Every structure is written in structure tokens, then in C-alpha cells.
Chains A and B, each alone.
Chain A
Amino acid sequence: MSSPAVVLRDVRFRYRSGPEILDIPELTIARGERIFLFGPSGSGKTTLLGLLAGVLSGYSGSVEVLGQDMAKLKGSARDAFRGAHVGYIFQQFNLIPYLTVEENITLPGRLNPSRGKQSGDVTAVAKRLGIEHLLARGVTELSVGQQQRVAAARALLGAPELLIADEPTSSLDFDHRERFLDLLFENCALSNSTLLFVSHDRSLAGKFDRQLSLLDFNRAHRKEAVA
């Protein structure tokens, strides 16, 4: 548990022949931290998350997640690593439409046996998020707020060390947003997960341990601005 949750050093990334999207000299996130990451659209937020989740490769520099050098993992091992240690919440449409709520929540555990072993009680997680009465439902019947809570339950089941949330509240109204965030914090605390929360809605920022502006530590944009 001594290694930080995330350590980036001299990371540069571009999509094939495109312009440089990321140029990050240094970024460290400690375990258990709740980080609010913000930046305008196009500033490379999703790309950064892709690197951390091990979906994107072909960068230079070093990306360490939970003490694991991502460059040292082969493709399928990265997928397995993500499945086992990282929870991921999208902005919206987080759920597989043809599975029930419960099937959606348990899917990561079923796809990744190593996550499956440590996965806790579905009902307990669902209860904490207030969706235990929805477990047998099809996901298309749910409201957007309910869907996001199901997505959170899926990301939290098995207590992943790192929880990445990519603008999970942008499709929610203010009341739901507050409640969702509280639930997320509560559950991250329970499972001792590091939370990397991405949003451009700065009004939420005050609730987090630390706020990071991508524009501050990503030099790619500064260069572009100069050019």
C-alpha cells in the first residue's frame, strides 16, 4: 500500500499522426485521495483516463498505476489489470442495455475472475446506493439518475483501488448530482478507493481533497496556445 495510486513522469501522447494531446512532466496521486480533475473539453481528460485505465498505449514516459508500470503489461494483461483494480464510470449510458441491473453490476467480476474473488455482496453495495429494489429490472427502465447509481455500484463492487469517474454527474440535475456525489464519497471511503473524478463543473470541486487543472500540468496545450 506504500506506492501511490498514480504516478506519471514525462508522459507524452498523441493519436497516430495527430497533434500531441498530453505532455505531463509529473503527476502523483496518493492512495485514498479524492481528486477533482477539470479542464475544458479537448484538453485531454479522456485521453489521460485512457492511459490510466490501460486502454491506450503507445505513449512515452512512464505511467504507474497502483505501483504497476503500465508499459510492462501486455495488452491482455492491461485489460485484466483494469478489470481487477480499476472501476470506471462514464458520463452516461454506462450500462449494457440487454442485461438486468444485477447482471450489469456483477459483469466485471464475471469477466475477470481475479476481481470476482474479491467482489463483495451485490446486495450490500446496491443497498448503500439505494438501488437494491431495482436489481432484477432491465436497465432501460431506469431513470438517468438510477442508471448512474447502477454504474457506480458496478464500479465499486469488489472495492477497486482506483475509481475513475468521467463526468458521471453531467447528465444529472443538481439534487441528484449532490446525492450521487455523497454516495460516491461514502462508498469510496468504505472500500478505501482512490477517486479520480473528472468534470468541467467547478461547483463540485470544493468537496474534494485536491483539485487538479489539466491545463496546469499538461504542457501540450500551452505549446499549442503559443503556436
Chain B
Amino acid sequence: MVLLSLAWKSLRNRLLTTSLTVLSIGLSMALLLGVENVRVGARESFANTISQTDLIVGARGGSLQLLLYSVFRIGQATNNISYESYQHWKNHPAVAWTIPYSLGDSHRGFRVVGTTEDFYQHLRFRRDRKLEFAAGQSPKGVFDVVLGSDVAQTLNYKLGDQIVISHGVAAGRGIADNDHADKPFTVSGILKKTATPVDRSLYIQLEGITAVHIDWADGAPPMPGEEVPASKIAKENMKVEQITSFLLRCKTRIATLQLQREINTYKEEAMQAIIPGVTLQELWRTIGYAEDALQVVTIFVILVGLLGMLVSLYTSLNERRREMAILRAIGAGPGKIIALLVLESGLLAFAGCVVGVVMIYGLSFVFQPIVEQQFGLYVPVQPPTQAGWIYLGAVIFAGILIGFVPAWKAYRNTLADGLSIRV
């Protein structure tokens, strides 16, 4: 305890270098914890793009592909599933709700998703958040469209605007020939930002998808004279033949695996059901390299911070030879001299960690809303994660270890100096 108080007072005596050292360790620590938080945030945001969905069901194919087009609106389905099959599973006694998706059209690079009222009712993200409207309401008519918030923002649309959707999902503008220009849609609602892929799509009714394709045959636009004008289309007459995939919630979690097996072995149609969490994990592993790279950089930043501490402690030793000789004279052995310097270095690292934690708390608190708004990344304001604690412990440990370098030097000095006067 005597040594601890000595170490503390000695550091306090060199307030400027001490605070600069603590600050530099603190900054690098904040960076490390910040990166860790962003990592966790990214992973959580990613895992929480979809919640409360037990199964995603689509035509048989790659499970990653099914996840990508159903949740992230990336890539395309190779096959659709029939509406009858969908109805079959929708009415299955173990099923609580379903959300059907019909994909394949786009509007100026954004995907158009045909779905039903269930989408607005049941879709959950980030554990239990549901979709909310910034303006308007869910589509009531065949030619109503609801915009994700990014779509509305990017294209600067407002309620009542008329838009045309295009066949196919090619990036950028759809091919003019493929425009469903004869059947424009009216913006009936705009969703609030969710920071998930939901923001980057447009939503119409399943019947709307049928309607724009009613006069198409085999994926080609109608021949002249065969067009069916929008005015002749009524929702009741639009028969939905197929959908692309659907999300499914079981009444009990236990039923999930049983139902998955049932769907995968369904005789009527080749279908597959995936558990989103599992496939999300798989996906995360494949794109997780970036976070590793980021982490390596931060670890180097920490090393630089610790090196700064080493330099400042080491250079202070020359002006402290006197002090060491005094300590020796009043009965402090080399062990105590070493302990003193190791304690100082440990204290610096500890203080740096405290500063870092406080800093990152403050910064996350201030910047969390901005980051969420701008980058759609929800960074949790939370105590350090397990990895965070490990980093903190490791840095303090490294600080103590590094302390042995100046301590060894001081020890050599005291042996050489003895009680002689060297100022």
C-alpha cells in the first residue's frame, strides 16, 4: 500500500506527462472498445434484420440464396412456389402467421415486393420492433404502393406520387421496354426508418404483382392489342398464382424443427425451409473478414499507446535516479524499486482503460442516434462486452509487463549508483 501511494503521488507529480500518457492509452482504448461496439452492433443489426421469424420458406435451392433474396433483397430466386402450397402451409395448425413475398420487379434500382397486410402486421426486427408508417397507410388497392424510408428519401417521393415499376431487378433503371408503364402505382404510405433492408424496397399487394403481369406471357411484354388496361383490373379478379417465398412463425418454438422437416419433405412441391438465425450466422462468417482487419488495426493503435507509456516512463528514469537513491538509502530494496515502477506503469494503463471506457460511453451516447440515422447501424450503449473486458484486462496486464522494462533499468541504475549522488 505504501508503494501504491508512492506510485500514485509520483505520477501525480508528473501531471502533464501522466495525463498525456493516460490520454493516449485512453484514446486507443476507446478506439478498441468503439470498434468492438461497432462490431457487436453490426453483428446484432445483421442478426436482427429479421426477428420472430422461425422459418423462411421458398423453392428448393441454396439456403443462403433464399435468405439473401427474402431478407436482404439480394440476388434472385430461381424458382417460385405455388400459391396453393403457400396456402397449405399458411393454414397448417402449427403456424401462427406467415408473410408472403413475391419478388422480381423493381423501381429505379429498388426492389418491389408483393406482399399482404400480414407484412405490416407481423414483421419484426431488432427483437420486437414492428413496422410503422411515417406517412399514409398500408396499400388498400391493387395499384397502391408503400415505400421504404430510403426509397422515399433517395427518390424524394411523397404520398400521392405516381410511379411506374419495371420488370426485372437489374440495377439502375429498368429497361424501358420492360416498364409496366401502363399500370402506374400511387404512393399510399411511407414507412419509418428501420435500419434494415426493409428501407430499401417498395411494397405492393400480391395482387398488384399479378396485375402488372396479367397481360404478359412467359416473361415477355404483351403483344400489341393484347394489353389489359389498368382500368379493367379489379382486385377480386386478380388471382395470385405463385409467390417467391414466405416468412413463417410457429405457434411454439418446439414446432419449428418438426415443421421444417415437414416442409423440406413436402411431396406436392420441392420446397425448402431455413432457420434464419442459422443461415445468418453462416453468412456473417463469410463476410466477417472486414471486422478482423479493423481489429488488427486497433490492436496496433493500442500497442502504440503502450509504447508511448514505455517511452515516457523510461525517459523519466534519468531525472529520477536521485529519487531511487533516496529510496534505497531509507531501506527500499531493489524489489521495491521494481515494484514501484511496475505499479506506476500498471496504474497508467488502468487509468487509461478507465478513461477509454468513459470516453466510449460518452461518445456512443452522443453519436448513437446519428450513426443509426446515417448508417443504419444500431450501436448499443452498453458496458464492455466480454471481449471488451478481455481487452481491458489484457491492456492492464500489458501495462504491468511493460513496466518491467523501466523497472529493470531503474534496478540496474540503483545497483550502479548505490547511494552515490547522481543528479
Lowest 8 CB-CB distances: which A-B pairs, in order? A83-B331, A98-B13, A79-B333, A108-B330, A88-B329, A50-B418, A110-B2, A55-B418
The stretch of B59-67, B105-113, B125-133, B319-327 that contacts the partner chain: B319-327
Q: Enumerate chain A interface residues (CB-CB to B < 8 A).
A: 46-47, 49-50, 53, 55-56, 75-76, 78-80, 82-84, 86, 88, 90-99, 103, 107-108, 110-112, 115, 154, 166
Contact among A46, A50, A111 with B330 in the assembled complex (CB-CB below 8 Å): A111
Contact among B333, B335, B421 with A91 in the assembled complex (CB-CB below 8 Å): B421
The answer to whether residues A56 and B332 also contact, given A90-B326, A94-B326, A98-B12 and a CB cut-off of 8 A, is: no
Nearest CB of B to A211, in Å: 22
B390-420 at interface with A (beta carbon < 8 Å): 418-420
| 12 extra A-B contacts, CB within 8 A, seeds A90-B326, A91-B421, A96-B327 | A49-B419, A50-B419, A55-B328, A55-B418, A84-B331, A93-B326, A95-B326, A96-B6, A103-B9, A108-B331, A111-B327, A115-B331
Do the beta carbons of B330 and A154 come within 8 Å of each other?
Answer: yes
Task: Report chain A residues within 8 Å CB of B419.
Answer: 46, 49-50, 53, 55, 88, 90, 166
Nearest B residue (CB) for A107: B330
Contact among B6, B331, B421 with A80 in the assembled complex (CB-CB below 8 Å): B331
Majority secondary structure of chain A interface residues (helix, strand, loop or mixed): helix
- Using a Cβ cutoff of 8 Å, how many contacts connect chains A and B? 83
Nearest B residue (CB) for A167: B421
Contact among A88, A98, A112, A166 with B9 in the assembled complex (CB-CB below 8 Å): A98
Task: Report chain B residues within 8 Å CB of A78.
Answer: 333
Nearest CB of B to A48, in Å: 11
Q: Tell me the complex Cα distance, A84–B12, Å.
A: 29
Q: Is B281 an interface residue (CB 8 A)?
A: no
A-facing mask of B322-358, CB < 8 A → 1, else 0? 1101111111111110000000000000000000000
Q: Is B153 an interface residue (CB 8 A)?
A: no
Nearest B residue (CB) for A115: B331
Q: Is B10 an interface residue (CB 8 A)?
A: yes
Task: Report chain B residues within 8 Å CB of A107.
Answer: 2, 330
Nearest B residue (CB) for A93: B322
Q: Tell me the complex Cα distance, A119–B322, Å.
A: 25
Nearest A residue (CB) for B423: A93
Do the beta carbons of B326 and A75 come within 8 Å of each other?
Answer: no
Do the beta carbons of B332 and A83 come within 8 Å of each other?
Answer: yes
Show 20 residue pairs from A and B whose CB-CB distance is below 8 angstroms, ordered by the A residue. Answer: A49-B419, A53-B419, A55-B418, A79-B334, A79-B336, A80-B333, A83-B331, A86-B331, A90-B421, A91-B421, A92-B421, A95-B326, A96-B6, A96-B326, A99-B9, A103-B9, A107-B2, A111-B331, A111-B336, A166-B421
